[in-house]
C-alpha cells in the first residue's frame, strides 16, 4: 500500500504518517528528514544537498525524486510507504508517477487533509513544546470543533514534569498565513491531477487526531476491501 498525505503546513500530516507507519508497517518517507539524513551521510548525493542547502536554495525536483527512489529501492520487500511533504507541485507529482512506474509500483491513495485556514492559524500560532522531552502542547482550548492540547497543569509538562517550554520562531500568525498562501499557489493545483486519477480522498484535518486517524483508516480500508 503506497499513500500520499496532502495538506498545508500544520494539518497534522507528520502525526498521521507516523501512526500509519506504526499501524500498517508502512515506511514514512518524510522528505525533510530524508534530506537531513542524506546530508549527514556524506554521500555524493548528500554533498550536493549540503551545498544547495548551505546556499539557502531549494533542492531540485530531480534530487528529491532520486532520494525517494533510493529509499524505495533500499527496502523493496516492505509493506509500502506513506509520503509526507512530497509532492508539492504538479511537475513533482508527474515525476513521482514516472519513477514509480519504472519500478512497477503505483499509488493506492492520496489523502487530502482539509482544513479551516483561520482555525489552522490559531492552532499553529498557539503551539509549543517541552524543551526537555519534546512533547507538543497548545496554548488554548477552542471546542467543540477544534480541541487543542494545553498542559493539564499550566506551565508543567504532562510527560516529564519540566517547566521549560519553547516555540518555533516560524509559528507566528503572519508566517503561517504566508505558508498557507504558498500551499494554495503551489500545491493545491495537484489536487485535480490526483482527483482525475480517482485517487484523491478528503478527510477533515481539523478533527481531533484520533478521529483523523479513524477517518484515514476508513479511507484506506475501502480499496483493500474492493480489491479483496
Q: Catalytic positions, please?
A: 13, 88, 127, 168, 179
Secondary structure (3-state) at 77: coil
Q: Which residues of 178-203 are buried (b: 16+ CB within 10 A; e: fewer)?
A: ebbeebeeebeebbebbeeeebbbbb
CA distances from 206 to 58, 67, 117, 148, 211 (A): 29, 31, 10, 10, 9
Q: Which residues of 149-164 are buried (b: 16+ CB within 10 A; e: fewer)?
A: bebeeeeebeeeeeee
* CA 223 to chain CA mean position, Å: 22
Amino acid at each position: 500500500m503506497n499513500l500520499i498525505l496532502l495538506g498545508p503546513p500544520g494539518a497534522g500530516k507528520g502525526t498521521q504518517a507516523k501512526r500509519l507507519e506504526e499501524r500498517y508497517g508502512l515506511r514514512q518517507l518524510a522528505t525533510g528528514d530524508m534530506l537531513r539524513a542524506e546530508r549527514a551521510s556524506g554521500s555524493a548525493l548528500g554533498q550536493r544537498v549540503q551545498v544547495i542547502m548551505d546556499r539557502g536554495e531549494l533542492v531540485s525536483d530531480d534530487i528529491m525524486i532520486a532520494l525517494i527512489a533510493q529509499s524505495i529501492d533500499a527496502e523493496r520487500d516492505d509493506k509500502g510507504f506513506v509520503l509526507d511533504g512530497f509532492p508539492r507541485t504538479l511537475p513533482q507529482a508527474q515525476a513521482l508517477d514516472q519513477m514509480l512506474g519504472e519500478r512497477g509500483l503505483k499509488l493506492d491513495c492520496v489523502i487530502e487533509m482539509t482544513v479551516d485556514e483561520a482555525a489552522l492559524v490559531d492552532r499553529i500560532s498557539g503551539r509549543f513544546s517541552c524543551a526537555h522531552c519534546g512533547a507538543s502542547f497548545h496554548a488554548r482550548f477552542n471546542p467543540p470543533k477544534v480541541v487543542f492540547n494545553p498542559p493539564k497543569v499550566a506551565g508543567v509538562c504532562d510527560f516529564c514534569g519540566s517547566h521549560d517550554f519553547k516555540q518555533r520562531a516560524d509559528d507566528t500568525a503572519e508566517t503561517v498565513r504566508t505558508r498557507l498562501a504558498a500551499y494554495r499557489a503551489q500545491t493545491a493545483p495537484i489536487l485535480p491531477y490526483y482527483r482525475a486519477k480517482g485517487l484523491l480522498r478528503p478527510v477533515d484535518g481539523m478533527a481531533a487526531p484520533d478521529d483523523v486517524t479513524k477517518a484515514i483508516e476508513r479511507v484506506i480500508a475501502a480499496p483493500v476491501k474492493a480489491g479483496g
